[in-house]
């Protein structure tokens, strides 16, 4: 099925293009201009801060008060240098939804500005979502969890691959894949990430731990480093690796299952999965269970596996 025109248009013009229009048409506060309600889409003007409303597609969960105050002080000294991107709210005259720039709008209120420069665009929900997410993801002050959730929303809403996401936000495909893996962590670990108690590096080290939530609490209480977490995680996994050695002893003279070779079904499944993934797959039966191994030679191949598994 082909994409809808609105989805294709989402970032086709780019944020820089949208803000470039504003630079050409921007009027400093106080200069005369057309009434807000009659400004054509794409035009720039100044609007009272009270006319603006927070955006529905804002990926940021919290706004740091100290950082907002710093930005407000800069606005008091130099003014608001970059316009805020908004779209009209049809059901409420003289009301505009913020698509990009909510943090600047909040800081402008702290700075006691009455009017702010804006760009008015007529945008669909799809376009608004994509622009709001990408504009925030290109900045450095989102939490790791907010960044990961932003990537996931772009995948869910626009079916972007990891490579396409990387191009959109100026990150590598491996960075996008690694951030998305954080979403598989338990809720308790995510809460510690969101309040700043746990860094992204610590969280990534917890991904392979058997009990990440318990280990996360140790990180916070004891101030463990990433290397220390990795060591503890490996120690916790060690008993599970050694478990097969506890299997019942097979009487002498009776061939083991492995010794008899793999059956045709396992061999066929190995071939099928190897063809699907493009990487060597090995399946070993051990009693009623077994192991499923995928061999890779580089980080890029590992990213490819994660990409295919997340899509599945």
- Of 19-28, 129-138, 144-153, least confident by mean pLDDT is 19-28
Domains and CATH numbers, the chain: 5-133 (3.90.1530.30), 185-238 (no CATH), 261-311 (no CATH)
Distance CA 208, CA 193 (A): 17
Which sign, positive or negative, has the C-alpha torsion 209, 213, 217, 220? positive
First-last CA distance in the chain: 19
76-104 pLDDT, tens digit each? 999 888 899 999 988 888 899 999 888 89
Is 90 part of the annotated catalytic residue set?
no
Contacts of 307 (CB under 8 A, 6+ apart): 161, 162, 173, 177
Range name among 40-44, 52-56, 113-117, 157-161 with the lowest pLDDT average: 40-44
Task: Tell whether the model's pLDDT for residue 253 goes beyond 50.
Answer: no
Q: How far is CA 210 from CA 18, 109, 178, 207, 229, in A?
A: 47, 47, 19, 9, 12
18 pLDDT band, cuts 50/70/90, is very low
pLDDT for 74 equals: 92
Checking if the pLDDT of 281 tops 70, the result is: yes
Q: Which of 97, 102, 130, 146 is catalytic?
A: 102
Q: Is the pLDDT of residue 31 over 50?
A: no
């Amino acid at each position: 099925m082909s994409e809808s025109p609105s989805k294709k248009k989402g970032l086709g013009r780019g944020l820089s293009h949208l803000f470039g229009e504003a630079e050409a048409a921007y009027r400093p506060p106080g200069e005369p201009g057309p009434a807000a309600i009659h400004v054509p889409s794409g035009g720039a003007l100044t609007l009272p801060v009270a006319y603006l409303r927070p955006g529905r597609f804002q990926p940021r969960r919290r706004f740091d008060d100290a950082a907002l105050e710093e930005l407000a002080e800069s606005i008091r000294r130099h003014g608001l240098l970059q316009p805020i991107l908004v779209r009209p709210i049809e059901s409420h005259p003289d009301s505009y939804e913020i698509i990009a720039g909510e943090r600047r709008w909040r800081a402008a209120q702290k700075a006691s500005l009455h009017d702010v420069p804006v760009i008015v665009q007529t945008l669909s929900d799809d376009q608004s979502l994509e622009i709001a997410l990408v504009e925030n993801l290109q900045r450095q002050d989102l939490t790791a969890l907010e960044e990961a959730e932003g990537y996931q929303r772009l995948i869910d809403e626009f079916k972007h691959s990891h490579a396409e996401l990387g191009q959109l936000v100026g990150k590598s495909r491996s960075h996008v894949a690694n951030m998305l893996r954080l979403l598989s962590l338990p809720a308790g670990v995510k809460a510690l990430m969101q309040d700043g108690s746990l860094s992204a590096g610590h969280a990534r080290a917890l991904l392979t731990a058997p009990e990440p939530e318990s280990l996360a609490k140790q990180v916070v209480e004891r101030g463990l480093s990433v290397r220390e977490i990795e060591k503890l995680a490996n120690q916790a996994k060690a008993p599970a690796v050694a478990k097969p050695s506890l299997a019942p002893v097979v009487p002498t003279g009776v061939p083991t299952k492995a010794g008899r070779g793999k059956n045709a079904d396992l061999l066929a499944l190995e071939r099928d999965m190897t063809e699907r993934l493009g990487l060597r797959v090995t399946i070993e039966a051990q009693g009623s269970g077994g192991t499923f191994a995928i061999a890779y030679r580089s980080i890029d191949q590992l990213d490819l596996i994660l990409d295919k598994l997340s899509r599945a």
